[in-house]
Amino acid sequence: MSKLLMKFGDLALETFLLHQMLESGSPAVLIAIFTIVVASNALICAVMMFVPYKRAPRAETFVDILFDFLIAIASTPRTYTEWENPTNVTEKLTHLAATGDLQTIQVTNRYLGELPEELRRCNGLKHLSLEYTHTQALPTWIKEFTKLEYLHVESKFTSPMTVLPDDMFDDMSSLTFMHFAAFMTMTKLPSFQ
């Protein structure tokens, strides 16, 4: 029953946001995209009512991942200059993290020198993937992501990861996948016990 109420609350919030966008005169393209997302979410909520109870968690996880990936912060660089000086997405990630709702973050070929402090609000984060982002250190508060299941950090050779907090994995009991690459200058990894 609580999940049903959450779904109704979610749909009510999305409808309110759409109304606000229409009233403020937002660009038509943005309104069209948001309308498609809201309508798709409503349709999926209705379909989920007919999914057998034992399959509902898997289907719900799939739907959540699908909607999480609608916000993509990734694209392939077209030139060497774009590869060496990628677009800075720190401000965009700061804005997206402000609500504390992010569960999946995938940043590839973009500049993210450090994780923004606002990301700490996302205590339900399950998937973190940073590839070629110029991130050279993870903050000490990374250990607060106790629900993290997937961690992929791949450094650039020109700006490799240099340090990970010693107690980073102490409370990450949900972590089932981890991939670290190009940590050439790092001499010690945190304890995995």
Cα separation, 180 vs 185, in Å, equals 13
**Percent of the chain surpassing pLDDT 70:** 82
26 or 166: whose pLDDT is higher?
166
Q: Which domain holds residue 144?
A: 73-181
On whether both 98 and 171 belong to a single domain, the answer is yes
47 or 90: whose pLDDT is higher?
90
Q: Tell me how many domains the chain contains.
A: 2
What is residue 73's predicted lDDT score, i.e. its pLDDT?
A: 45
Q: Tell me the pLDDT tens digit for each residue of 97-155.
A: 998 989 999 998 899 999 999 999 999 999 999 999 999 999 999 999 999 999 999 98
Residue 65 domain flag: no
Q: Which tokens go with 116?
A: 């923004």
Q: Stretch 75-85: mean pLDDT, rounded?
A: 77
Residue 190 domain flag: no
On whether both 26 and 84 belong to a single domain, the answer is no
Cα separation, 54 vs 31, in Å, equals 36
On whether both 118 and 42 belong to a single domain, the answer is no
What is residue 13's predicted lDDT score, i.e. its pLDDT?
A: 72
Cα separation, 63 vs 56, in Å, equals 10
On whether both 41 and 112 belong to a single domain, the answer is no
On whether both 36 and 83 belong to a single domain, the answer is no
Cα separation, 47 vs 65, in Å, equals 16
Q: Which tokens go with 175?
A: 């972590």
What is residue 60's predicted lDDT score, i.e. its pLDDT?
A: 64
On whether both 78 and 132 belong to a single domain, the answer is yes
Single-letter residue type at 128: L
Q: Stretch 56-61: mean pLDDT, rounded?
A: 66
Cα separation, 120 vs 127, in Å, equals 14
Confidence of residue 180 (pLDDT cuts 50, 70, 90): very high
Residue 167 domain flag: yes
What is residue 64's predicted lDDT score, i.e. its pLDDT?
A: 62
Is residue 69 within 8 Å of residue 92, measured between CB atoms? no
What is residue 75's predicted lDDT score, i.e. its pLDDT?
A: 57
Whether the pTM exceeds 0.85: the reply is no
Average pLDDT of the chain?
A: 82
C-beta atoms surrounding 63 within 10 Å: 17
CA trace torsion 52, 64, 120, 132 (10° rounding): 140
Q: How many residues comprise the chain?
A: 193
